[in-house]
A and B are shown apart, each in its own frame.
Chain A
Amino acid sequence: MKRALILSLSTFVAGVALPTAAVSGDDKPLYTVQDGVNVDENTYNGFKTWRAAACDRCHGPNQEGMVGPSLIESLKVLTREEFDKVLTDGRMAKGMPAWNTNQKVMDNLDDLYAYLKGRSDGAITKAKVRKIK
């Protein structure tokens, strides 16, 4: 259900004017963006989770990939279920930690996904975002 909606997202996003909203499974927008950098509270929280967990050390400050893969690309391919599984269990041999011992990451998977998906979709244009005032 969720997956189907997300797959249809890109066409949807392309067609709408700012602010951009992407839809998640329960009809609530996955993320809302204004001017590319101002985001809703949940998405902002996703950014803060990304930063606190220091994901940039492997995936690059702009999610472009370094020793770890580009999340701009990965989030175009990964299903939501796969995303959760990789975050929870890790990909040890490749150096991706299992984050299941990090409560902050586990509690904020939805927000983290929203933020990274927004970056991958191109709707969020800079890695550093602000909260919509």
Chain B
Amino acid sequence: MIAGLKHKVAAALACMTAAGFAVADADLDRAMKNPGNWASQAGDEYNQRYSSLDQINAGNVGNLQVAWTFSTGVLRGHEGSPLVIGDMMYIHSPFPNNVYAVDLNTQQIVWKHTPKQDSAVIAQMCCDTVNRGLAYGDGKVFLQRADSVLEALDAKTGKVVWQATNGDPKLGAVNTNAPHIFGDKVITGISGGEWGVRGYISAYNIKDGKMAWRGYSVGPDAEMLMDPAKSMTWADGKMQPVGKDSSLKTWKGDQWKIGGGTTWGWYSYDRAENLLYYGTGNPSTWNPTQRPGDNKWSMSIWARDLDTGMVKWVYQMTPHDEWDFDGINEMILADIDVKGKKRKALVHFDRNGFGYTLDRISGELLVAEKYDPVVNWATHVDMKTGRPQVVAQYSTEHNGEDVNSKGICPAALGTKDQQPAAFHPKTGLFYVPTNHVCMDYEPFEVEYTAGQPYVGATLAMYPAPNSHGGMGNFIAWDAGAGKIVWSKPEQFSVWSGALTTAGDVIFYGTLEGYLKAVNLKDGKELWKFKTPSGIIGNVFTYLHKGKQYVGVYSGIGGWAGIGMAAGLENDSDGLGAVGGYRDLQKYTNLGGSLTVFALP
């Protein structure tokens, strides 16, 4: 009944505000204002992953117990989290991307949606058949299927309201990202950097699924929605127009057509500025010798106008990638002190091992520092040019094709991959799940064939040498100063999205399958529970009948899970550390379930 009323109100509001201008979706807005809901993947538009709920706090979290569990019926990697709006929870699964609406009062499945997708898609997905979750708005639940079809489902019935085809899976253009609802748009990206897909971000109208705009990551200015005179970038210590053909002139010939720069991360939105933020991935191929130039605008942070898609500013973190350091990780918006000055900041923890702080309005580069001390491929980022200063020994281009460049930190999966960090407004700090992994990287020549893998490098990955022996850390980061505040070692990569709460507790999951609660102040472990499988999902919280719950998917997989045992020929290679990854098999197994906790 309440849902029905919500629908009517939402429809009425939509009619009133159906101008071409980005207006907030009233339904989602209302849902997000209620802290008892978990209405979007990050809980808000800023990607902060912070909840103001405080019933579960540092004093009582030790008493947390399992309240209920749910099997998704699917194996393989479970990323993202469910959504909660009112009495309904929306649960998703990896391929075939089933969706369940569960009534929290009865824990009954109200409806389920089981898309029929061609299983050929499975082989086109580079790093497991993950899906990072659903979006909600306008009385609909949005699913970005693996085969690139974007679906709007009626939140009450699960019936398909509209569908949009976002890419051609036969060419490797598939999807793993969650769709995001900002204003009256559904924003979605594309995967397939390892298939030579030319990346883009797309905005669809929430009402009917018509494409509003699409901006490519590489190529001609018009197709990137780049204004040579007005789109800005950081150069020579200040913001300057990108100029004509800013992408084309950084590629050899027409290589940009298969140039990568895919967009499968977590996006954010500044309502006051009407700006959408996201990152682009690696240039294709992984063999840098084959694609001379800076390969703009792969590996970049972008700010686009939500209504038109026009680029306000763009900043390339890793020009001419030689390590597969995709720039797609989440963009977190927060108003923080940066070097003594209050800033509307964008904070980003890149795969390349640098934590970036930018002015999110102007695009100015403010801070770029290593958030893991073992990062060695670059000495530092030159703050005037914004360019990393690459160390020749770790340059896979300098060392050349068919040469194994050894001891590069971080590994290709980055000091952090997509697993999103969280922000806490009380401390002004960021809480970051990280990898502590290094690699050997040997590029080789490859030919492009449409719809076939286009990789061109062989990798071996292992725990960071001469460190604590583990493959992860959970850290607190001061983005204003560019410093680690505390760091908690973990045996395996922390591949789970963190959650901060007003109860001064931080939650995150581990690959062994533990959900952990740690103290906001010092990272001290307060509680842990072993879930059925390894955790690569994101922790979320909600209120039901006045009681706070915390939940997380477990289901090992993703690049972390499938790559665990990979890399070295035997345990004595590579400083004897590869055994660490193999150890994961002692702790966990495939599975797909949701575990929800509450205080007794």
* Interface residues, chain A, with chain B CB atoms under 8 Å away: 51-54, 56-58, 60-62, 64-67, 90, 92-98, 101-104, 126-128
Contact = CB atoms under 8 A, between A and B. Distances in A.
Contacts of B444: 51
B493 to A, nearest CB: 15
A102 B449 contact: yes
30 contacts: A51-B458, A52-B446, A52-B447, A53-B453, A54-B194, A54-B455, A57-B126, A60-B566, A61-B460, A61-B566, A62-B569, A64-B566, A65-B565, A66-B563, A66-B566, A67-B128, A67-B557, A92-B118, A92-B119, A93-B119, A93-B122, A94-B122, A95-B125, A96-B123, A97-B120, A97-B124, A101-B451, A102-B449, A128-B442, A128-B458
Given A51-B458, A53-B453, A54-B453, A67 B123 contact: no
A66 B568 CA distance: 13
Contacts of A126: 569
B173 to A, nearest CB: 15
A102 B122 contact: no
B580 interface: no
Interface string B445-459: 011010111010011
B485 interface: no
Given A57-B453, A101-B451, A92 B122 contact: yes
Task: Tell me what chain A mostly uses at the interface: helix, strand, loop, or mixed.
Answer: loop
Interface in B103-125: 118-120, 122-125
A61 B459 contact: yes
A57 B120 contact: no
Given A57-B126, A64-B565, A92 B120 contact: yes
B295 interface: no
B593 to A, nearest CB: 20
A102 B452 contact: yes
B129 interface: yes
Nearest to A99: B452
Interface string B421-455: 00000000000000000000010101101011101
Contacts of B122: 92-95
Interface in B330-380: none
B562 interface: yes
Interface in B49-73: none
A84 B260 CA distance: 32
B453 A61 contact: no
Contacts of B118: 92
B567 interface: yes
Interface of B: 118-120, 122-126, 128-129, 194, 442, 444, 446-447, 449, 451-453, 455, 458-460, 557, 562-563, 565-569
A127 B194 CA distance: 22
A126 B122 CA distance: 29
B477 to A, nearest CB: 31
Contacts of B447: 52, 104
Of the candidates A66, A92, A93, A128, the one having the most CB atoms from chain B within 10 angstroms of its own CB is: A66
Contacts of A92: 118-120, 122-123
Given A52-B447, A62-B569, A104-B449, 20 more contacts: A51-B444, A52-B446, A54-B453, A54-B455, A56-B458, A57-B453, A57-B455, A61-B458, A61-B460, A61-B566, A61-B567, A66-B563, A66-B566, A67-B128, A92-B120, A94-B122, A97-B123, A97-B124, A104-B447, A126-B569
A62 B447 CA distance: 22
A67 B130 CA distance: 13
Contact of A127 (B124, B455, B569): B569
Contacts of B449: 102-104
Contact of A90 (B123, B458, B460, B557): B123
List the 8 shortest-distance A-B pairs measured between CB atoms, nearest first. Answer: A54-B453, A97-B123, A95-B122, A92-B119, A67-B562, A54-B455, A66-B562, A93-B119
Of the candidates A52, A92, A101, A128, the one having the most CB atoms from chain B within 10 angstroms of its own CB is: A52
A65 to B, nearest CB: 8
Contacts of A53: 452-453
A127 B119 CA distance: 30
A99 B458 CA distance: 20
A128 B459 CA distance: 12
A95 B123 contact: yes
Contacts of A64: 565-566
Contacts of B120: 90, 92, 97-98
Contacts of B453: 53-54, 57
Of the candidates B123, B124, B563, the one having the most CB atoms from chain A within 10 angstroms of its own CB is: B123
Nearest to A48: B444
